C-alpha cells in the first residue's frame, strides 16, 4: 500500500476493509512506524469516543408509546370503527325511511287505480224484456252535485293510457237479469 494513505489506515482500524486489503495494511504496518503511529492515534480516538454516555429511556417510555399507538389505532380504526358504524347506521335508517315512504305512497296510488269503475259510474238497472235505449233516460239526467264532483275527481284516471287501454266498457256494465 501507499504510505500515509490515511483513509485506508482509518478503514483498517474500523474493520471496514476487505480481508485481502486488511492483510496488505498489516504487512505495511510491520515495517512503517509512521503509519503504525497514525493507526494508534485512530485507535485512541475511537477509544476516547466511548466516554460520551447518554441517558437511558425513562421508565414510562414504553407506556407512552403504547398509549400513542392505541390512540392512533382508535383514530384510524378501519372500516368498522365506532364512528363509521354510527354514520353507516344513520345512513341505513334514512334510506329505510325514504323507501318506506315511497312504498306507502305507491300503494295508495295503486289502490286508487284499482278502484272499480262501477263505483264511479251511476248504476243503471235494465229489466228483462225492456228495450235498452242507446242512451237511457237515467243517463240523460244531470248528476247530483256530489256525484258530479266525484266524477270530476276521477277524470284523471281516464287520462292514464294503461287504465284506458285495459278498459272493457261492457264488463263494467251491471249484469242484466237473465230472467
Partner 1 sequence: MVVDSDLDLMLRVRQADAGSFDELLRRYRTPLVKYFCRMVRDEALAEDLAQEAFLRVYNARNRYRPDARFTTWLYRIATNLALNAIRDARGRGRQDGNGTADDGETSFEFVDPKASAEQQMIETDRGRMIREAIESLPENQRAAVILHKYQDVDYRQIAGILKVSESAVKSLLFRAYETLRARLEPLVRGGQL
**Phi-psi category of residue 78: left, alpha or beta, with phi > 0 → left and psi -120 to 50 → alpha:** left
For residue 34, state whether it binds partner 1 (rule: CB under 8 A).
no
Residues 68-87, one symbol each (x = binds partner 1 by CB under 8 A, - = not), give: xx--x---x-----------
The answer to whether the beta carbons of residues 128 and 177 sit under 8 Å apart is yes
Smallest separation (angstroms) from partner 1 to the CB of 15? 10
Sign of CA dihedral 140, 145, 147, 150: positive
Smallest separation (angstroms) from partner 1 to the CB of 113? 58
Q: Which is nearer to partner 1, 34 or 160 (by Cβ)?
A: 34
| Sole binder of partner 1 in the list 3, 4, 14, 105 (CB under 8 A) | 14
| Sole binder of partner 1 in the list 3, 23, 27, 61 (CB under 8 A) | 61
Q: Give the largest CA-CA distance in the chain.
A: 149
Round to whole Å and give the CA distance between 7 and 14: 10
141 vs 75, 133, 162, 173, 178, CA distance in Å? 79, 14, 30, 18, 27
Round to whole Å and give the CA distance between 90 and 27: 81
| Sole binder of partner 1 in the list 11, 22, 117, 120 (CB under 8 A) | 11
| Sole binder of partner 1 in the list 54, 80, 134, 170 (CB under 8 A) | 54
Q: Please give the residue ranges that form the binding site for partner 1 (CB under 8 A).
A: 6-7, 10-11, 14, 16, 41-42, 44-46, 48-49, 51-58, 61-62, 64-66, 68-69, 72, 76
Amino acid at each position: 500500500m501507499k504510505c500515509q494513505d490515511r483513509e485506508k489506515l482509518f478503514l483498517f482500524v474500523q474493520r471496514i476493509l476487505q480481508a485481502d486489503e486488511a492483510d496488505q495494511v498489516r504487512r505495511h504496518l510491520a515495517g512503517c512506524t509512521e503509519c503504525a503511529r497514525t493507526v494508534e492515534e485512530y485507535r485512541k480516538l475511537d477509544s476516547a469516543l466511548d466516554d460520551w454516555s447518554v441517558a437511558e429511556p425513562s421508565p414510562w417510555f414504553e407506556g407512552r408509546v403504547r398509549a400513542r399507538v392505541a390512540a392512533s389505532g382508535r383514530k384510524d380504526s378501519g372500516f368498522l370503527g365506532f364512528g363509521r358504524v354510527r354514520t353507516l347506521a344513520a345512513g341505513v335508517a334514512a334510506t329505510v325511511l325514504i323507501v318506506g315512504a315511497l312504498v306507502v305512497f305507491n300503494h295508495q296510488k295503486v289502490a286508487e287505480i284499482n278502484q272499480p269503475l262501477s263505483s264511479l259510474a251511476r248504476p243503471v238497472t235494465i229489466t228483462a224484456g225492456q228495450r235498452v235505449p242507446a242512451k237511457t233516460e237515467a243517463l240523460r239526467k244531470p248528476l247530483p252535485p256530489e256525484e258530479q264532483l266525484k266524477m270530476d275527481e276521477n277524470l284523471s284516471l281516464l287520462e292514464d293510457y294503461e287504465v284506458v287501454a285495459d278498459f272493457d266498457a261492457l264488463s263494467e256494465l251491471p249484469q242484466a237479469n237473465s230472467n
